[in-house]
A and B are shown apart, each in its own frame.
Chain A
Amino acid sequence: MKLESVLESLLFISNQPLSLKELAKAADVPADDVKEALAKIGTEYQESERGFILAHNNDKYQLTTAPQNAEVVGRFLKDETSGELTPASLEALTIIAYRGPVTKAELEMIRGINCSLILRNLLIRGLIEEAEDKTLGETVYSVSLDFLKYLGVSSLNELPDYEKLHAREPLTSNISEEEQEAELEIKKN
């Protein structure tokens, strides 16, 4: 049984994003193997210009329609999604997309303004999601798969200048190097 084919079936039958963990459990193989196979599937879809692509974010995967067919599909679904976001929301989303997972403090440091309301708003709209960073003991925020679908990109790596803006040094100068290393470990995993 080829792993790629198994994963494809699982993704096909689900109407929810599937996490790496769920897929690994269902296919009964290590998560690393699943990740590798999914990367292959994703590239294959894009290169063969299929009508669907594999979108992923925060280790969650979902088959979606291809961006070039957005207009036809949107019309067919009588979709009323608009492209509207306030400038402040867009700014916060940009920082979370590029710097995520990011703490509220770091977001506020970059924007120079309190972001409590905006974070709550974005959470309610499902554009971002929160998680607990055990090492930092703080809540961290990242954009949701729904936001990627809204942008029409299959992963954050497709954003312009992603590598450059993502890999900036940490802003908080008062955390020790040890903690920074621990933080990097989390990001890798």
Chain B
Amino acid sequence: MHEIELEQFTGPLGLLLRLIEKEELDITEVSLAKIADNYVDYVQTNPNIPDEELADFLVLAARLLYIKSKALLPYLVFDESEDNEDDLEKQLKMYQEFVAASHNLEVIIGRKKFLFAPSALNRNWRRRPVTRPKFVAPKNVTPELLAARYEEILNRLAATVKLLPEESWEAKISIDDRIVSIRQLLGKKLRFSFSQFLKTAKNRTEVVVNFLAVLELAKQQELVFEQDGLFAEIQVVAVKQ
């Protein structure tokens, strides 16, 4: 199934590009959603990915799965502006251009039209071997200069650290609480529309909690889903006990 050799790509984007080209897909959000599983499969089953690069491969896997989940559940996208920062399609297209450019450079290098500049030659017209570099302290270095430079670096770091946005995650609602409230709702109404219910969520976290709570109750056979046709409204119906 996976005919791609690791040596043929040079990182997560390289792998993704190969997979897309292999399936003869264009680079679009839709293709990225389609290819997500192939990518995850490949990363999961390939033991040759170096440990130090694995994190970058996983970051891309997460982005692909996010894109796929958006394609499957489009109504769950609240804030389009958030997605613009994460424009994988654009990034991959740019990467593709540079990959093409690197093939051009490879051809140019392959021509071996090296330019030679005058350098000291020994008797056999061989260029003298480069002498091993040794450490020579620059004349103008003083302890004060080093201290000032170090402070500069620290200040730069401080600026970066300050820029990091502070975000705290407060678990305001728990799935257990939500299960209780859904039971109450079903006790009163017997049935409700799933999409209306999701709309009551105030943020993304609540959507997830609502979703999981309903699933959990379905699993416990306290409710069932009804749907008249493909993509029709889903009704959540209480199971009579």
Residues of A at the B interface (CB closer than 8 Å) are 15, 17, 53, 55, 62-68, 70-71, 73-74, 76-79, 81, 83, 85, 87-88, 90-91, 93-95, 97-98, 109-114, 117, 137, 148-154, 159-161, 165, 168, 171, 173
Do A64 and B13 contact each other (CB < 8 Å), given the known contacts A109-B91, A112-B95?
no
For the complex, would chain B's binding face be called helix, strand, loop or mixed by DSSP majority?
helix
B101-120 with Cβ < 8 A to chain A: 101-102, 104-106, 108-120
Q: Give the residues in chain A near B56, CB-CB below 8 Å.
A: 112-114
Decide yes or no whether B230 CB sits under 8 A from chain A.
Answer: no
Q: Give the residues in chain A near B7, CB-CB below 8 Å.
A: 87
Decide yes or no whether B166 CB sits under 8 A from chain A.
Answer: no
Residues of B at the A interface (CB closer than 8 Å) are 7, 9-14, 52-53, 55-56, 60, 85, 91, 94-95, 97-99, 101-102, 104-106, 108-121, 124-127, 156, 159
Do A152 and B113 contact each other (CB < 8 Å), given the known contacts A112-B11, A113-B12?
yes
Q: List 18 A-B contacts (CB under 8 A).
A: A17-B117, A53-B115, A67-B114, A68-B113, A73-B116, A74-B114, A77-B121, A77-B125, A83-B110, A85-B106, A110-B98, A112-B56, A137-B156, A150-B114, A153-B108, A159-B108, A161-B101, A173-B85
In the complex the two chains form, what is the Cα distance from A88 to B117 in whole Å?
A: 28
Q: Give the residues in chain B near A83, CB-CB below 8 Å.
A: 109-110, 112
Question: Does A64 lie within 8 Å of B117, measured CB to CB?
Answer: yes
In the complex the two chains form, what is the Cα distance from A109 to B86 in whole Å?
A: 11
Q: Give the residues in chain A near B112, CB-CB below 8 Å.
A: 70-71, 74, 81, 83, 152
Do A160 and B115 contact each other (CB < 8 Å), given the known contacts A78-B126, A111-B13?
no
Q: Give the residues in chain B near A93, CB-CB below 8 Å.
A: 102, 105
Q: Give the residues in chain B near A73, CB-CB below 8 Å.
A: 116
Q: Give the residues in chain A near B114, CB-CB below 8 Å.
A: 67, 70, 74, 79, 81, 149-150, 152
CB distance from A57 to the nearest CB of B (A): 11
Q: Give the residues in chain B near A62, CB-CB below 8 Å.
A: 117
Taking CB as reference atom, which chain A residue is nearest B87? Answer: A173
Q: Give the residues in chain A near B99, CB-CB below 8 Å.
A: 91
Q: Give the residues in chain B near A78, CB-CB below 8 Å.
A: 124-126
Question: Does A151 lie within 8 Å of B116, measured CB to CB?
Answer: no
Q: Give the residues in chain B near A161, CB-CB below 8 Å.
A: 101, 104
Q: Give the residues in chain A near B55, CB-CB below 8 Å.
A: 114
Taking CB as reference atom, which chain A residue is nearest B102? Answer: A94
Question: Does A65 lie within 8 Å of B11, measured CB to CB?
Answer: no
Do A165 and B115 contact each other (CB < 8 Å), given the known contacts A91-B10, A160-B104?
no
Q: Which one of A66, A94, A109 lies within 8 Å of B105 (CB-CB)?
A: A94
